[in-house]
Chains A and B, each alone.
Chain A
């Protein structure tokens, strides 16, 4: 596997992504990007029109700019640091692992792939996340989020592990939610959750999902030395929509 290392110091967003694209089309399968500082849309351009679907690994040190992995189709990104807004926006497939925190609108309208965030995330996380047939996005967050988690959510799985110091004090969780599921480890008051959402305890099938994706989360961050049994022992709640048609009876 050919690896290319790029020092991103002083390189513009457009130039950096153009180099990644050219190298990917030339067969590079692994990139190591050093000193990334605000360059946006990393991974977005990496699509080949000739029908083959190249899959590359991108290892990033520094702080990538907004829309990391937006519209991304199938690449794997690891960030040693924090990320900004719009990570995984409308992402179709692939994997993003962030050793740090994420900004707002994380995973918005994401339809496939996985995102693992070590720490906390901002507002509107997993907004209008979707799913389609075998495409079922998974988002696992080590800490917690700000308000409007899972707003308009239509599919996929979101897991909040609450491993950090912050409590889950976000509000408007799942407003307009009509698909998918959110699992939260720890306490959430009913008043924090929108009326369209049903709050319950995870069942056997839910526990299987939790076991699988918490396991993957732990594997993604081996340095943390997390104990799966310890985490899964905690109290989880499950949030799911009461109806697939929240607005069916609005019209005359």
Chain B
């Protein structure tokens, strides 16, 4: 069937500059560029281009420009080009449209409507270059009361304290499984978290055995509905265990790692036969209620001898605050919430673009609900989904998060250009692929450096902003909405965020 879909991108090659080195041909896994020996020219097929910009950046002569195609349909506010083309693709295939990365639709980004405070005259700001600033964060359940004993001038804590995670900055790497991302990308995240003193999350694809001794202490291992790669050793080698209930990019649905991506090594890590589909059912079929969730939380605490905090990750949906209250009461030490703009290696586009709520509103609703119920101390909140900068992170903490997960941001640090073709497994940047030729392009040392650089830069910016507000510990900012003001928001939005309007 002849496809009626336009190419998404237009490749413009400056023939004057092009040296026919065929670098672009080698770089592109989608087969966009081919060399024609008859004319001694490179020919580009716009239809194959993913718009990932790999060839542009790696062209030694800067001869290539890739830009959105100039062809257009008659402008129509209702029938946008995207709507028309998605429909055509489905008419041609009869299938569900898959995509990668996070929701790219123009829903309001609340970070961009919130401004931060700074000290002027009445209380001095703090210079982080001169004064100690504390970003160290502890994640886990805090006791309701602390019972202490004085013995000969010494203080002894009598209350039994739940296990906690300690991170040097409130920024953790979000769950990205080996299988979805490449081994090199996975290992770079692990190495960077170890070097910086933070944590990475294995996702549900298991933790390769050879990485356990070295990186287990920095790993949050996931238990998702597919239960891949889980045994006592996996659970016990980690810093914490996370039950994945939902993901911001695809709340309410499961996942399929297609058989093509289940290589020998992925199969070993997930403990499934090579080449079979790895299906994660939509729900955990042993969790149909809060009571069932409580049972799995405690099963995991038992399996890890009550030595590790258990986190529960959910997608931010309409009743997120009430659900989270149930999760805290079920015994979770940490709640991870993933917002509307959270990323994915593959999700149906209809779901990625339409299901869930923005993380900003979810954090605030959750924090306020737990405070009102008097149980906020019983869990830490880790927010995920659409955090793009240090200022987003500091706002998330002021709205009530204890720490954040970054996924998309970490991928961008390693080279991702958000081309949204993760689901094809042909990532030219070596990130979202199991093709050894492609994943080999990602140098783990350089990628690790890029990640620690990012953590370093953002942590420093957070310190600067904290100091400006006259605060010297990130703890003192948590849920401290007085330092936030809204701009251009409706009354109900200010109410959900729990903040005043600017000037108020």
Contact = CB atoms under 8 A, between A and B. Distances in A.
Contacts of A151: 285
Contacts of A40: 295, 298-299, 302
Interface stretch (B71-79, B227-235, B444-452, B489-497): B227-235
Interface stretch (A26-34, A85-93, A200-208, A219-227): A85-93
Residue with the highest number of chain A CB atoms closer than 10 Å, among B97, B230, B271: B271
Contact of A135 (B227, B271, B276): B271
A230 to B, nearest CB: 35
Contacts of A131: 273
B302 A252 contact: no
B57 interface: no
B299 A89 contact: yes
Contact of B98 (A44, A71, A132, A252): A252
A252 B271 contact: no
A98 interface: no
Contacts of B26: none
A250 B272 contact: no
A176 B225 CA distance: 14
Given A41-B298, A249-B95, A73 B231 contact: yes
Contact of B279 (A45, A247, A251): A247
Interface in A133-179: 135, 151-152, 154-155, 176, 178-179
Contacts of A105: 285-286
A71 B281 contact: no
B456 interface: no
Interface stretch (A122-130, A181-189, A210-218, A231-239): A122-130
A79 interface: no
Contacts of A109: 226-227, 230
Given A73-B231, A90-B230, A154 B272 contact: yes
Contact of A92 (B232, B285, B306): B232
Contact of B259 (A14, A21, A128, A245): A245
Residue with the highest number of chain A CB atoms closer than 10 Å, among B89, B299, B305: B299
B275 interface: yes
Interface string B259-283: 1000000010001110111010100
A250 B302 contact: no
A108 interface: yes
A132 B259 CA distance: 15
A70 B275 contact: no
A73 B279 CA distance: 23
Interface string B80-108: 00000000011011111110000000000
A128 B286 CA distance: 11
Contacts of B96: 250-252
A128 B305 CA distance: 26
B303 A47 contact: yes
Contacts of A120: none
B97 A252 contact: yes
Given A154-B279, A245-B277, A252 B231 contact: no
A47 B95 contact: no
A179 B277 CA distance: 10
Given A45-B303, A178-B277, A92 B231 contact: yes
B95 A251 contact: yes
Contacts, number: 128
Residue with the highest number of chain A CB atoms closer than 10 Å, among B258, B285, B302: B302
Given A105-B285, A105-B286, A154-B279, A252 B93 contact: yes
B434 interface: no
Contacts of A244: 259, 275-277
Residue with the highest number of chain A CB atoms closer than 10 Å, among B281, B285, B305, B306: B285
B29 interface: no
A72 B298 CA distance: 14
Nearest to A90: B227
Interface string A69-112: 01101000000000001100110100000000000010011010
Contacts of B223: 90
Nearest to B271: A132
Contacts of B272: 130, 132, 154-155
B217 to A, nearest CB: 13
A63 interface: no
B93 A108 contact: no
A57 interface: no
B302 A251 contact: no
Contact of A86 (B98, B232, B295): B295
B53 interface: no
Contacts of A21: 305
A71 B231 contact: yes
A130 B277 CA distance: 12
B468 to A, nearest CB: 46
B277 A246 contact: yes
A56 to B, nearest CB: 14
Interface string A37-60: 000110011010100000000000
Contacts of B285: 105, 108, 124, 127-128, 151-152
A251 B273 contact: no
A155 B299 contact: no
A45 B300 CA distance: 9
Contacts of B94: 252
A207 to B, nearest CB: 24
Contacts of A17: 302
B271 A130 contact: yes
B232 A132 contact: no
Nearest to B270: A132
A67 interface: yes
Interface of B: 89-90, 92-98, 223, 226-227, 230-233, 235-236, 256, 258-259, 267, 271-273, 275-277, 279, 281, 285-286, 295, 298-300, 302-303, 305-306
Interface of A: 13-14, 17, 21, 40-41, 44-45, 47, 49, 66-67, 70-71, 73, 85-86, 89-90, 92, 105, 108-109, 111, 124, 127-128, 130-132, 135, 151-152, 154-155, 176, 178-179, 244-252
Given A13-B302, A70-B299, 17 more contacts: A13-B298, A14-B306, A40-B298, A41-B299, A41-B303, A44-B302, A66-B295, A71-B299, A73-B233, A92-B230, A92-B231, A105-B285, A130-B272, A132-B271, A179-B276, A244-B275, A247-B256
- Please give me the 7 A-B residue pairs with the lowest Cβ-Cβ distance, nearest first: A252-B95, A109-B227, A47-B232, A132-B271, A41-B302, A92-B231, A252-B93
20 contacts: A13-B302, A41-B298, A47-B303, A71-B230, A71-B299, A85-B286, A86-B286, A105-B285, A128-B226, A130-B272, A132-B271, A154-B272, A154-B276, A155-B272, A178-B276, A244-B276, A245-B259, A249-B95, A252-B93, A252-B95
